[in-house]
Structure 1
Amino acid sequence: MSAAERFSPDWVSPPGDTIRDALACRDLTPDFLCQELGLSRTATDKLLVGDLFIDTELADGLATTLGASRQFWLSREFLYRERLGTQVQSAAPVDFATFKSELPLKDMRAFGWLKDFTELSGDQALKAFFEDTPGDWQRSGPCLAEQVRFRTSFAHKSNPAAVAAWLRQGVRSARRVNCAPWDAEKLRAALPAIRNLVRTKKPAEFFPKLVAIGQACGVAIVFVRTPAGCRASGATHFEAADKAIIQLSFRYRADDHFWFTVFHEIGHLLLHPTSPLFVEGQDYEMTEEESEANRFASSILIPAEFEDDLRTVRRDFRALARLAKRVGVSAGILVGQMQNRGLLQHHQMNFLKERYDWTDVADFTL
């Protein structure tokens, strides 16, 4: 396994070190950076030594001035704080009452997320849900919500606090999944075995097999239903250096969406192992990393040798079913991929997609 494929980024140094290198490569000075970012010299000095938090606005300024993407600078900041063991926060700590008011409490209770804390009072139970150690609810609550907010598009409809709660439940669920140490090479080698599952219709048959493959590769694959305010279809993050998490929601309850999301998340693990968090859904920015994961998923589902067939196949359900069998995917996946490529309109041939009901996946809901 190469060093690049392990989740062990050598980023103990502050983001300011990367900024200094970028300035030197471009023969620029800190004074120039002050002017471009609209910062005082004191604030710039703090930025260079890691004492000034890189928020969304500052990440945009760095991307414009020095290159790389907004997400690169946010991830650089996040990982630095993670390695230091400090909280990632963009302003003063959020008071608990404010954070609580944004949580989807009704669904959190209905989904059983708080059942392990019944002996605690309401607020204490909520804090315990977000805590690994007493008092650190800020880190897995408001600070995680802030990371979600960074990745949300300006037209977002998701509530970052609801997404943070969903992600936190994913971490808690993943801790019940015993895994071998994270191994990117094993995961890459397991891709054919995972792809062989895509024609299996019933979640009760394919989901345990998918989870078992993930366990062998150091990936806890968990299904967590989304609460109100969370529109995510999937997420990828690391619980620890040796354990990755792929979190799925079955939000769209169709086979094409589900399997595309699975391979999209796997793509993130293999292509972007040093990034701390990816959340998928219509509310999130289409970064270069997301585009790369999309291309990865598409190439797994529809190998390059079948691309011409997608364009020339007769738009008839029998012909599509025959082609799907040749490709080795379900007819619904084939239709979804043709829709994504603009070869079918999004309302066409949807009856070929396998639809899941909540009762199909209730046994796997965490």
Structure 2
Amino acid sequence: MLKALKKYEFEPDYATSPGATLLEVMESLEMTQKELAVRTGLTEQTLTRIFKGNQPISYETANRLELVTQVPAGMWNNLEAQYREQLAKLEERQRLDAEKTWLKTIPTKELMERGYLEANQDEVSLLRNVLSFFGVSSVHAWHAIWETPEVAARRSKCFDSQPGAAASWIRQGELQAHQIDCAPFHKSRFQQTLQEIRVLTCEGPGVFVPRMKELCAASGVAVALVREMKKVPWNGATKWLTPNKAMILLNLRGKGEDKFWFSFFHEACHVVKDKKKDLLINDGSDGDPREKQADAFAAETLIPSRFNNKISIFQTAHEVIDLADELGIAPGIVAGRYQFLTGNWHVFRNLIRKLEWRE
């Protein structure tokens, strides 16, 4: 049995004015332009402009045409609206055709694979789809959004070299975060929530992910989890979507639970301590004092620094597990701290749970 795999919509590259229909109606009524002018009270010059599509059919004109031709005014109004809409689409298509080279900066293939863009489109249609994904009407508007001082305030090297890929990853987080209902942001409540979330490090993703999202949403923070993208070497980002709603955006780069939780608390620090207007990106660099502050906050929240000397001389997995039990966190986080302090990245590696994406 044959079946259609895809529904294609016909998009004409021309626009037919309602004046063409009016000429056909006149012909069927055997009516001249002069007679129509007399019957409708319109000048012949006005009718000529309507025939050519240079003058729109107003509601008043549509009512007059209904009385003379017996064709409902609603039909004339609909024909006029469709004509103007098609003209606008043709003008937009011409404008987008001149901007389509910008598509080379956007990871369209990855976005198609993730279901954000439709496949098998011509370049102009694809460009329109991409602009819709970003919620802008033009490439100029895209630059205005993603090159504002708020974004440039925390400029990552990746943003300079791969702005399209970088913005695409953040935009996916925004779209996900917008779907999360949050209470108005409450700073002290969120700070208390962080202690509850710290305990969740002992749980598996099936437990900690929904609970973490729920707790953060109750404090005005939407947690978005978005797969890593090629050429975007970031662990996380923080952005205020509104004055009362923050987004913490995370991925599984590195895959270890220790890195994931460090990234979460790193971003949480930005929510608590940094300005709401900034987009802050965790790309592993340490040149920004805000990033150093966030690193210190994450490290101290997970494992107070007074335990570092003790951890650095651990010899057995039992020591790691015992301290993890004492601190109320996952053993993998203690193992990760040991690796960081000693540089022995292979030691206690089996204690660090790997996190993976599931469809």
Shorter-chain TM-score: what band? 0.5 to 0.7
Deviations 1:303-341 (A, max 9, x none): 2453443245x321122111221122112111112222x
In structure 1, how many angstroms separate the alpha carbons of the residues matched to 2:325 and 2:267? 25
Distance, in Å, in 1 between the alignment partners of 2:229 and 2:309 is 41
- Which residue in 2 is equivalent to 1:187? 190
What is the aligned-residue RMSD (CA, Å)?
Answer: 2.9
Report the Cα distance in structure 1 between the residues aligned to 2:105 and 2:217, rounded to whole angstroms.
34
Q: 1:166 to 1:149 in 2, by over 3 A?
A: farther
Q: Report what 1:295 is aligned to.
A: 296
Deviation of 1:137 after TM superposition, in Å, equals 2.9
Partner SS for 1:112 = coil
Q: Which residue of 2 aligns with 1:77?
A: none
Alignment of 1:350-361 (within 5 A): 350-359=349-358
TM-aligned CA deviation for residue 281 of structure 1? 2.3
Please give the secondary structure, in 2, of the residue aligned with 1:252: coil
* Rounded Cα–Cα distance in structure 2 between residues aligned with 1:99 and 1:346: 42
Partner of 1:334: 334
Identity of aligned residues (%): 28
What amino acid is aligned across from residue 339 of structure 1 in structure 2?
Q
Kindly state the Cα deviation for residue 357 of structure 1 after the two structures are TM-superposed: 2.3
**Cα distance in 2 between the residues matched to 1:149 and 1:161:** 18
Q: Alpha-carbon deviation of 1:285? A: 5.2
CA, structure 1 residues 158+232, in 2 after alignment: closer, same or farther (shift >3 Å)?
farther
Does residue 1:172 correspond to 2:175, yes or no?
A: yes
Please report how far the alpha carbon of residue 223 of structure 1 lies from its aligned counterpart in structure 2 after TM superposition.
0.5
1:137 counterpart residue number: 142
Sort the Cα spacing of 1:158 and 1:146 in 2 relative to 1 into closer, same or farther, 3 A: farther
The letter of the residue matching 1:353 is: I
- The answer to which of 350-359 and 294-303 deviates more is 350-359
Tell me, yes or no, if the aligned pair for 1:335 and 1:344 is still in contact at 8 Å.
no
Structure 1: any 5+ residue segments left out of the alignment?
A: 1-94
Q: Which runs of 5+ in 2 are unaligned?
A: 1-97
Is the Cα–Cα contact under 8 Å of residues 185 and 221 in structure 2 kept in the other structure? Answer: yes
Go from structure 1 to structure 2 and tell me whether the alpha carbon gap of 1:157 and 1:237 turns closer, same or farther (over 3 Å shift): closer
AA matched with 2:130: L
Deviation, 1:273, is 3.0
Give 1:317's aligned amino acid.
Answer: A
Q: Does 1:270 align with 2:272?
A: yes
Aligned residue pair count = 259
1:249–1:330 distance in 2 versus 1, CA, 3 Å: same
1:176 maps to amino acid? Q
When residues 173 and 308 of structure 1 are mapped into structure 2, their CA distance, relative to the original with a 3 A threshold, is: same
What TM-score does the superposition give when structure 1 sets the normalisation length? 0.64
The whole-number CA distance in structure 1 between the counterparts of 2:169 and 2:356 is: 20
User: Partner letter of residue 126 of structure 1?
Assistant: V
Q: Structure 1 337/96 Cα, relative in aligned 2: closer, same or farther at 3 Å?
A: farther
Does 2:156 correspond to 1:152? yes
CA distance in 2, matches of 1:247, 1:208: 15
Query: C-alpha displacement at 1:191, in angstroms?
Result: 1.6
Partner Cα separation in structure 2 for residue 329 and residue 113 of structure 1:
37
Deviation at 1:140, TM superposition (A): 3.7
Output the CA distance in 2 between the equivalents of 1:297 and 1:173. 24
Q: Could you tell me whether the CA contact under 8 Å between 1:180 and 1:217 is conserved in 2?
A: yes
Q: Deviations over 1:60-92 (max 9, x none)?
A: xxxxxxxxxxxxxxxxxxxxxxxxxxxxxxxxx
Instruction: Tell me what 2:345 maps to.
Output: 346
1:149–1:160 contact (8 Å) kept in structure 2? no
Q: Which has the higher contact order (CA 8 A, sep 6+)?
A: 1
Q: TM-score, normalised by structure 2?
A: 0.65
Report what 1:51 is aligned to: none
Tell me which amino acid in the other structure corresponds to 1:320. Answer: V
Q: Could you give the per-residue CA deviations for residues 134-178 of structure 1, whole angstroms, max 9, x where no partner exists?
A: 77333345x279946962249x99622201111111111111000
User: Larger Rg: 1 or 2?
Assistant: 2
Q: Which residue of 2 aligns with 1:127?
A: 131
